[in-house]
Amino acid sequence: MKILVTGGAGYIGSHTVLSLLNNDFDVIVYDNLSNANIESIRRVENLTGKKVSFIKGDIQDKATLTKVFSEFVIDAVIHFAALKAVGESSTLPLKYYQNNVHGTLNLLEVMMAFRVYDFIFSSSATVYGGENVVPYEETMPLGEASSPYGASKVMIERALKDLAQANSEFRAVCLRYFNPIGAHESGDIGEDPKGIPNNLLPYVAQVAVGKRESLQVFGNDYSTQDGTCERDYLHVMDLAEGHVSAVNWLKKNSSFTGVEAFNLGTGRAISVLEIINAFEQACQQKIPYHFAPRRYGDLPAFWANAEKANKQLGWKATRNISQMMADTWRWQSNNPQGYPN
Ligand code: NAD
Ligand code: UDP
């Protein structure tokens, strides 16, 4: 079975490509490398001993997409390609809507033209917004996204529903990720943010490796156990395996059409201070940090009800927090500057 993976050179994409290859799928990666390094794919090939077909291309470029769909017989698409910096999306909303929404519509149009109907979409817990009560369940209505980035995910989920309504052959799975962290256990591939990291774990890891001085903890006056925000962190390899489960689920359920959403999380929330503490254990050193004001748009606490993915996809996150920290540290300490340029 041949799978086109857009954004496959990025953080979650590269780990998923590795899992797909290890499960004997053929993989074509389509990535414009705007936030990735081709070295991730080389390392995935080394780790698996298998080849990936790589095409440098943009999802906004319909001509190149069309060429790819004419050259390869594609069975399914896993769509990671997107811009993901929440803060930046508020200052450059049109760039985010162009890239994420328009790019996805382009991709779907080319898929329809080539009668490729199986689609797995990188959605996010952010689609639940602040209105829903925790833990989030898939039956809840989509919320009011707090950023253009979040809104792009809500819009795409809606577009997928409308497409499925109009085309009875189209089948989409929206995987709503909670907070992916960690790295492959080899320490060869991991998260390599460009510039100052926006997310907690890459920031903590860069402080530990001496690249940054001190972590700012955004807010210690939330109504949580220790006053800092709580999130449902899951290991990126568990997340990667969730995609393999979703592909297998589509394959097995040949009569399914429409759109189905699944939360991918552990069902457990932990705080920023707990993360710092767990990372200190993994790297055997103190992480300098200081409290800073709350970050705009942050919710106090959210986590997944992950029952549906467990029951229907047969998927469950199995790696614990110390494994997530140990693997992050292995990747960061082996590659203090990220992938070589
Ligand atoms: P990433 O930036 O590492 O990966 C995205 C990849 O897409 C990159 O390789 C980038 O070069 C590529 N890309 C971006 N725009 C493109 C375009 N127009 N054409 C072709 N390629 C393009 O990010 P990630 O963390 O691996 O996220 C993957 C997906 O998961 C994204 O859709 C993101 O929104 C979603 N997601 C991520 C998180 C998270 O915390 N990392 C949480 C929820 C959802
Ligand atoms: N966070 C922090 N300092 C940072 C980055 C993040 O205290 O430098 C906190 C942030 O306020 C949130 C949690 O860590 O409570 C997770 O943030 P991240 O950006 O990783 O994920 P998301 O906001 O998407 O849940």
**Number of structural domains found in the chain:** 2
Alpha helices in 35-193 (DSSP H): 39-48, 62-71, 86-91, 93-96, 103-113, 148-166
Instruction: Considering every ligand atom shown, identify the ligand nearest to the alpha carbon of residue 16 and give its number.
Output: 1
Q: Name the catalytic one among 30, 117, 149, 177.
A: 149
* Dist. CA 219–CA 200, nearest whole Å: 13
* Dist. CA 203–CA 82, nearest whole Å: 21
Mean pLDDT over each residue of the chain, to the nearest integer: 97
**Global pTM exceeds 0.75:** yes
Range of the structural domain that residue 120 is part of: 2-181+234-264
Integer Rg of the chain from CA: 19
Average pLDDT over residues 185-214: 97
What are the tens digits of pLDDT across the range 232-279?
999 999 999 999 999 999 999 999 999 999 999 999 999 999 999 999
- Model pLDDT, residue 337: 94
331 alpha-carbon distance from chain centroid: 18
Closest CA to 218 of 328, 294, 318: 294
What are the tens digits of pLDDT across the range 272-315?
999 999 999 999 999 999 999 999 999 999 999 999 999 999 99
- Does residue 90 form part of some domain? yes
218 shares its domain with 242 = no
Take atom 23 of ligand 2 and give the residue whose Cα is closest.
298
Which residue bears the tokens 């200081």?
A: 290
146 shares its domain with 217 = no
What are the tens digits of pLDDT across the range 40-63?
999 999 999 999 999 999 999 999
21 shares its domain with 91 = yes
14 shares its domain with 48 = yes
171 shares its domain with 225 = no
What tokens appear for 63 in the block? 């001509």
Query: Which distant-in-sequence residues (6+ apart) come within 8 Å of 313 by Cβ?
Result: 242, 245, 246, 249, 262
* Dist. CA 198–CA 85, nearest whole Å: 7
Instruction: Considering every ligand atom shown, identify the ligand nearest to the alpha carbon of residue 265 and give its number.
Output: 1
CATH number of the domain within which 255 lies: 3.40.50.720
Take atom 1 of ligand 1 and give the residue whose Cα is closest.
10
18 shares its domain with 102 = yes
**Residue to probe by mutation, ligand 2, list 123, 222, 272, most atoms within 8 Å of CB:** 272
- Does residue 58 form part of some domain? yes
Residues 193, 201 contacting (CB under 8 angstroms): no
Take atom 5 of ligand 2 and give the residue whose Cα is closest.
200
- Does residue 212 form part of some domain? yes
278 shares its domain with 321 = yes
CATH number of the domain within which 308 lies: 3.90.25.10
Q: In what order do the strands lie in the sheet with 76-79?
A: 53-56, 26-31, 2-6, 76-79, 118-124, 171-177, 258-264
174 alpha-carbon distance from chain centroid: 12
Q: What is the DSSP letter of 304?
A: B
Residue 122 Cβ contacting ligand 1 at under 6 Å:
yes
Burial (CB < 10 A; 0-12, 13-18, 19+), residue 250, is buried
What are the tens digits of pLDDT across the range 116-141?
999 999 999 999 998 999 999 999 99
Q: Check pLDDT > 90 for residue 341.
A: no
- Please indicate whether residue 289 is annotated as part of the active site: no
- Which residues' Cβ are closer than 6 Å to ligand 2? 179, 198-200, 203, 215-218, 229, 231, 272, 295, 298
110 shares its domain with 156 = yes
253 shares its domain with 326 = no
